[in-house]
Structure 1
């Protein structure tokens, strides 16, 4: 007999692992980006983003392993994914543009 809760638990586990991967990827990028790039791009300071993404990674990891009663649908986990998504969609492209030179053509640098 098919158990609906077993399938839902598997789906939530996969979603939790994906959320943790997203937050960890954003945290790793923020760690390797120079602090000066955040200021030049007009974004929040690097330390603030490291705090946001570090807590996001902690909350999503806790939701995967079930610490503290956190689940994938917890408000902390959802807020963590939103924070990492904002970083990856807005901040990451802006700080990546800082290090590029100005002599690039339409198909890349000359």
Structure 2
């Protein structure tokens, strides 16, 4: 099953300690391991929230706003797409990411659109 890992910055997390951040493993090791063995297939860093653009269509008009659409204490700093046989394995992969130590990882199963009519999950 594919999972999207949203890599979150959590600067206002009251549980985050300097020891957590200092104990985060280097990203290079995580990338080498999981991109090297094919578990991770795509990912990158994202520009900061102030560089985001919101796009909505209302009443047939395209509305564009600067910055993030909603205020949040967390900011998405990047993403990775991983393949894992089950949720427990995906959690293990996510827990070894440096930002699980210094921020947070939101792990979401991919829900295929089934555009080809082959019976995707629903």
Shared fold (TM-score greater than 0.5)? no
Which structure exhibits the higher relative contact order, with contacts defined as CA atoms closer than 8 Å and separated by 6 or more residues?
2
In terms of fraction of residues, the more helix-rich structure is 1
TM-score (norm 2): 0.26
- Choose 1 or 2 for highest CA Rg: 1
In terms of fraction of residues, the more strand-rich structure is 2
TM-score (norm 1): 0.28
